[in-house]
Amino acid sequence: MATLGVNIDHVATVRQARRTDEPDPVWAAVDAQLGGAACITFHLREDRRHIVDRDVPLLKEVVNVRLNMEMAIAPDVVDIACRTQPDQCCIVPEKREEVTTEGGLDVVRLGDRLRDVVARLRDAGCCVSAFIEPDPAQIDASAAAGFQTVELWTGGYAHARNADSQREAISSLVAGVRHAAQCGLIVHGGHGLTYRNVAPIAAIAGFEEFNIGHSIMARAMFVGIREAVREMNRLLQQHAPKE
Ligand code: PXP
């Protein structure tokens, strides 16, 4: 069964709305762990719009499960990652005007620029992941650039407007998982997954982890973080492929 990585950025978004010290994403990380998260994910953006530098060493200290740092390849962020040594660094594309990460990284185009960053992060002891669309060329390029893991963008499925495009998106995820595994990559998935749409994705064999943020934090406003994490874990378990 795939494990659950909980993205805590939204807690920091609420804090930054007032530039104050609450709610604290570090507390959220502790609560998510108590609810059964197998991984805590945070994104230190270049514009520091939610998670800020102060959070990073504190997360490193309090997170006892896997710690996954999402990041672009901005030099100052790469330096922080090398110093902090999270268990995993997930390289994502970043655009200043975006509301959240939109689509996957273009590893085919960025190839050589990524190779050096991947090597530095691996030397620092981190497992390095590429957030990409389930496209065979991007998967091949990720393996060639030295990534050990790919996180396949599930947004194509989550944003599908009808049953046909949803089926198509599921088929490309199934093929993407298979292709990535053949390349020797560990496969994660994420983006746009919710309590209502996660079942068919949780049922795909080969995903080792799902990273989910918005839907869990939205529910947490009403039931608390621990219960929201428990409920998502229950769904992953209920719909997991039969081994
Ligand atoms: N995985 C990656 C790489 C992301 O950038 C995001 C969004 O921050 C997520 C997963 C989680 O997406 P969502 O908030 O839609 O669950």
Residue 13's pLDDT band, with cuts at 50, 70 and 90, is very high
Q: Is the CB of 193 under 6 A from ligand 1?
A: yes
Q: Is the CB of 192 under 6 A from ligand 1?
A: yes
Of residues 102 and 39, the one with the higher pLDDT is: 39
Say yes or no to pLDDT of 197 above 70: yes
CA of 83 to the centre of ligand 1 (A): 24
Q: Within the chain, what is the greatest distance between any pair of CA atoms?
A: 47
Catalytic (active site) residue 61: no
Q: Is the CB of 70 under 6 A from ligand 1?
A: yes
Q: What confidence tens digit (pLDDT) does each residue in 59-98 have?
A: 999 999 999 999 999 999 999 999 999 999 999 998 766 6
Separation between Cα atoms, residue 168 and residue 163, nearest integer Å: 9
Judge contact between 132 and 90, C-beta under 8 A.
no
- φ, ψ of residue 224 in degrees (nearest 5): 90, 155
- Active-site annotation holder among 50, 188, 191, 209: 191
Using CA atoms, how far residue 22 sits from 16, 25, 105, 214, 221, in Å, is: 9, 8, 32, 18, 14
CA of 192 to the centre of ligand 1 (A): 7
Catalytic (active site) residue 70: yes
From 70, 138, 157, the mutation candidate for ligand 1 (largest count of ligand atoms within 8 A of CB) is: 70
Separation between Cα atoms, residue 201 and residue 130, nearest integer Å: 19
Using CA atoms, how far residue 180 sits from 21, 45, 53, 194, in Å, is: 41, 27, 33, 24
What is the per-residue pLDDT for 85?
98
Say yes or no to pLDDT of 101 above 90: no
Q: Is the CB of 178 under 6 A from ligand 1?
A: no
Of residues 169 and 102, the one with the higher pLDDT is: 169
Catalytic (active site) residue 159: no
Averaged pLDDT score across all residues of the chain? 96
What is the per-residue pLDDT for 243?
72
Considering the chain, what percentage of its residues have pLDDT values greater than 70?
A: 98
Q: Is the CB of 187 under 6 A from ligand 1?
A: no
Average pLDDT over residues 97-107: 79
Closest residue by CA, ligand 1 atom 6: 191
Say yes or no to pLDDT of 169 above 70: yes
Q: What confidence tens digit (pLDDT) does each residue in 211-239 have?
A: 999 999 999 999 999 999 999 999 999 99
Q: Residues with Cβ < 8 Å from 99, sequence gap 6 or more?
A: none
Q: Which CATH architecture has domain 3-239?
A: Alpha-Beta Barrel (3.20)
